[in-house]
């Protein structure tokens, strides 16, 4: 074990501040990673502030981790010292249940171990995330980062990327499908990029006309203003797939009306509760509402490889770790295009 510099919150009221943490020694199946960049996800804020009533302090957030391998255990063949790697939302799972065997570790029957605030199998206590100098992770949960993409802008792929890629991929979005991405934030901007790269006809659906130019720059073919009844009527029954990234409760019915027969709207926001829905809206067109959460490790690697092949990264704003509390306020106010990434070199300041 070693003392590692990190940033942590001590209780739900506290700002993040410098902290020393312990990491385990590198075990036979482990990869030790020096963290170079870490993305800032809204979940980080929820956990720091105990919004979900399950936080364990100190909370060291961060599950959009990019770094370089500095040491490997004796069973590790795939990763070599100096290699560029990533770690996302999970650092472990049982590896033997049917879901793990089906590459769906996010649905592990024993519970996937989240990168922070999960049960630490090695040191006891809870896991500590990527707002730190280094992390040690089982090789099965370490991802290859393509060499050709902008490393710092790749960090949010590990959460915002896979969260939007997974439903597009699982529901088999294809060339020329009409895909609506609802909400233009950290998730939505990746949904647009992916759907566009998959060859879909992409419509950004937003309440905010001022987001139209940016949506088109990101790859949207069209922008549909959800408060404009006339526009909404014109698109009624026309979408093959809807990716709903709105993170707060809202009326789903206007979007269900946009779906064509047999089409699905996938929710990726942790909305509690979903508001009342018009039952006839589903029944009258054999429509479906579904949920999706992150993605499995194999699928995450496929997403990263796709990003390498298609030169896709996130639109990011770089910050030093010392500015993290200010960044949190801006995330809460949706004042970031579209994701903050921490330059972890700043920890040395």
Q: How many CB atoms lie within 10 A of CB 249?
A: 12
By CB atoms closer than 10 A (0-12, 13-18, 19+), residue 212 is middle
Q: Which of 34, 107, 222, 305 binds its own copies (CB under 8 A)?
A: 107
The partner residues of 130 in beta bridges, in order of sequence, read none
292 contributes a contact to its own copies by CB under 8 A: yes
Which residue in the set 104, 145, 157, 314 belongs to the binding site for its own copies (CB under 8 A)? Answer: 104
CB of 142 to its own copies, least distance (A): 24
- Considering only 24-32, 73-81, 201-209, 273-281, which stretch makes contact with its own copies by CB under 8 A? 273-281
Q: Which of 167, 148, 145 is closest to 156 using CA atoms?
A: 145
DSSP three-state, residue 259: strand
Show the CA angle centred on residue 292, arms to residues 66 and 116, nearest 5°: 40
- Return the number of the residue (12 or 264) whose C-beta is nearest its own copies: 264
**CA-to-CA distance for 40 and 44, rounded, in angstroms?**
7
State the burial class of residue 255 (Cβ atoms within 10 Å of its Cβ: 0-12, 13-18, 19+): buried
Give the one residue of 5, 46, 49, 170 binding its own copies; rule: CB under 8 A. 170
Question: Does residue 160 touch its own copies according to CB under 8 A?
Answer: no
CA distance 39 to 131: 9
Q: Which two tokens stand for residue 161?
A: 């990327």
Applying CB under 8 A, does 283 fall inside the site for its own copies? yes
Specify whether the CB–CB gap between 281 and 303 falls below 8 A.
Answer: no
The yes or no reply on residue 277 touching its own copies (CB under 8 A) is yes
Confirm or reject binding of residue 176 to its own copies (CB under 8 A).
no
53 is a contact residue toward its own copies (CB under 8 A): no
Interaction of residue 58 with its own copies, rule CB under 8 A: no
Considering only 4-12, 68-76, 179-187, 278-286, which stretch makes contact with its own copies by CB under 8 A? 278-286
Cβ 295 to its own copies, closest distance in Å?
10
248 binds its own copies (CB under 8 A): no
CB 34 within 8 A of CB 70: yes
Q: Which residues contact 230 (CB under 8 A, 6 or more apart)?
A: none
**Residue among 73, 254, 281, 308 that touches its own copies (CB under 8 A):** 281
Q: Which of 261, 333, 348, 349 binds its own copies (CB under 8 A)?
A: 261
112 binds its own copies (CB under 8 A): no
Size of the site for its own copies (CB under 8 A): 33
Binding residues vs its own copies (CB under 8 A): 99, 104, 107, 170, 261, 264, 267-293
């Amino acid at each position: 074990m070693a003392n590692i510099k990190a940033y942590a919150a001590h209780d739900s009221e506290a700002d993040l501040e410098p902290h020393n943490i312990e990491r385990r020694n590198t075990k036979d199946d482990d990869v030790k990673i020096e963290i170079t960049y870490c993305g800032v996800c809204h979940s980080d804020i929820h956990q720091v502030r105990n919004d979900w009533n399950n936080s364990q302090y100190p909370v060291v957030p961060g599950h959009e981790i990019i770094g370089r391998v500095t040491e490997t255990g004796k069973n590790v063949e795939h990763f070599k010292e100096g290699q560029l790697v990533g770690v996302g939302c999970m650092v472990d799972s049982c590896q033997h249940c049917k879901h793990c065997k089906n590459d769906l570790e996010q649905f592990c029957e024993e519970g996937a171990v989240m990168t922070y605030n999960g049960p630490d199998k090695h040191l006891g206590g809870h896991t500590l995330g990527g707002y730190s100098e280094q992390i040690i992770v089982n090789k099965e949960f370490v991802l290859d980062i393509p060499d050709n993409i902008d490393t710092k802008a790749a960090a949010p792929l590990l959460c915002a990327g896979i969260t939007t890629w997974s439903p597009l991929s699982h529901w088999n979005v294809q060339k020329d499908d009409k895909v609506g991405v609802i909400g233009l934030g950290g998730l939505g901007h990746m949904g647009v990029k992916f759907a566009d790269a998959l060859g879909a006809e992409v419509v950004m659906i937003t309440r905010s006309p001022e987001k139209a130019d940016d949506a088109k720059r990101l790859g949207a073919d069209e922008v549909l203003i959800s408060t404009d009844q006339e526009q909404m009527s014109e698109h009624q029954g026309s979408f093959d797939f809807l990716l709903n990234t709105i993170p707060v409760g809202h009326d789903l019915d206007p979007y269900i009306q946009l779906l064509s027969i047999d089409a699905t709207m996938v929710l990726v926001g942790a909305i509690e509760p979903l508001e009342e829905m018009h039952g006839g809206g589903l029944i009258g067109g054999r429509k479906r509402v579904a949920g999706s959460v992150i993605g499995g490790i194999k699928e995450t690697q496929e997403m990263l490889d796709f990003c390498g092949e298609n030169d896709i990264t996130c639109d990011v704003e770089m910050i030093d770790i010392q500015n993290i509390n200010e960044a949190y306020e801006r995330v809460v106010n949706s004042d970031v295009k579209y994701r903050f990434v921490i330059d972890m070199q700043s920890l040395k300041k």
